[in-house]
């Protein structure tokens, strides 16, 4: 354990932590002193690399295969984390998918998949984590700046799912307030990840700062929300998007 770091002694789980913003969050939480479990579905090698990186930084970690659309897998992941580390202080809910399609072409399968993972899965992950979370703990969800605007054609369903998360967080904040647990929602704009690689260049002209975000920048905000410093903030959605949604 790294004494003197703001998250020293804390235990975190990052749902969807094998790559992109999730992996950056795992690394940042560990750098700030937390031991971290992550879940993954389809990238075991990336998950192993992320765990190796935080262990090299002096923290303990574990990778757990768990589909965020499967309630039993989500509960098992939380249970494994608590069994390994003895408690849970921080939960980051990053699992999500992006499938684009306009009103004429989006399929029922894509609609159901995005709702199941981006809304139902987020709720179930929060529910499972909250049941085992220490009083005074932290929950951080990863939404999107498209929750307040559709940045381009074909993003209406994705925007809808992320708007649902923003509203969900407000209600859950009230539910958990008596335990001193805070929950906040980070709404990144276009960020350089595997999920955005196919269309990131087309979006850059829409960003006032003229560039996409770096996952480490998003992770910095996540770490703040996971820390003691953010204790008076709950139910909020914080947009970090280079000015795109102004």
The DSSP code sequence of 63-121 is EEE--TT-HHHHHHHHHHHHHHHS---EEEE---------TTT--HHHHHHHHIIIIIH
> Among 66-70, 79-83, 190-194, which stretch is predicted with the lowest mean pLDDT?
190-194
The answer to whether 6 and 86 are in contact (CB under 8 A) is: no
The answer to whether 241 and 211 are in contact (CB under 8 A) is: no
Average pLDDT of 210-235? 97
Question: Of 197 and 225, which is predicted with more confidence?
Answer: 225
Helix-strand-coil split of the chain, %, nearest 5: 50, 15, 35
- Domains of the chain (ranges plus CATH)? 11-240 (3.40.50.720)
pLDDT value at residue 1:
47
pLDDT value at residue 150:
63
pLDDT value at residue 151:
61
Mean pLDDT of the chain: 93
pLDDT value at residue 227:
98
CA distances from 30 to 26, 56, 62, 90, 181 (A): 6, 10, 12, 12, 21
pLDDT digits (tens, 9 = 90+) for 6-28: 999 999 999 999 999 999 999 99
Among 226, 204, 209, 216, residue whose Cα is nearest residue 27: 216
> Among 35-39, 86-90, 118-122, 145-149, which stretch is predicted with the lowest mean pLDDT?
145-149
The answer to whether 126 and 147 are in contact (CB under 8 A) is: no
Distance CA 230, CA 194 (A): 30
The answer to whether 25 and 52 are in contact (CB under 8 A) is: no
Distance CA 152, CA 236 (A): 25
Distance of CA 166 to the CA centre of its chain: 13
The answer to whether 38 and 64 are in contact (CB under 8 A) is: yes
Q: Is 224 a catalytic residue?
A: no
Distance CA 144, CA 157 (A): 12
pLDDT value at residue 96:
85
The answer to whether 90 and 7 are in contact (CB under 8 A) is: yes
pLDDT digits (tens, 9 = 90+) for 16-75: 999 999 999 999 999 999 999 999 998 899 999 999 999 998 999 999 999 988 999 999
Among 138, 158, 140, 139, residue whose Cα is nearest residue 148: 158
Instruction: Give the CA angle between residues 70, 140, 175 to the nearest 5°.
Output: 85
pLDDT digits (tens, 9 = 90+) for 145-189: 988 776 678 889 999 999 999 999 999 999 999 999 999 999 999
CA distances from 149 to 26, 102, 207, 221 (A): 28, 15, 13, 21
Among 233, 223, 241, 217, residue whose Cα is nearest residue 184: 233
Q: Residue 203 CB: number of other CB atoms within 10 A?
A: 15
């Amino acid at each position: 354990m790294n004494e003197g770091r703001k998250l020293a002694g804390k235990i975190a789980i990052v749902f969807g932590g094998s790559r992109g913003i999730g992996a950056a969050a795992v690394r940042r939480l560990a750098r700030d002193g937390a031991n971290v479990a992550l879940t993954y579905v389809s990238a075991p090698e990336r998950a192993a690399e992320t765990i190796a990186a935080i262990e090299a930084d002096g923290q303990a970690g574990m990778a757990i295969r768990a589909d965020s659309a499967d309630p039993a897998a989500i509960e098992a992941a939380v249970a494994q984390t608590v069994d390994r580390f003895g408690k849970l202080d921080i939960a980051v809910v990053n699992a999500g998918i992006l499938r684009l399609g306009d009103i004429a072409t989006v399929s029922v399968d894509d609609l159901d998949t995005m709702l199941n993972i981006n809304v139902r899965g987020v709720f179930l992950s929060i529910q499972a984590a909250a049941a085992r979370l220490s009083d005074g703990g932290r929950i951080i969800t990863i939404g999107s700046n498209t929750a307040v605007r559709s940045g381009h054609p074909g993003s209406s369903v994705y925007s809808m799912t992320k708007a649902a998360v923003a509203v969900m967080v407000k209600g859950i904040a009230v539910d958990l307030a008596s335990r001193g647990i805070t929950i906040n929602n980070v709404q990144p704009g276009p960020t350089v990840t595997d999920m955005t690689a196919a269309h990131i260049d087309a979006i850059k002209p829409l960003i006032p700062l003229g560039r996409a975000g770096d996952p480490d920048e998003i992770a910095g905000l996540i770490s703040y929300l996971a820390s003691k410093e953010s204790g008076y903030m709950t139910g909020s959605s914080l947009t970090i998007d280079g000015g795109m949604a102004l």
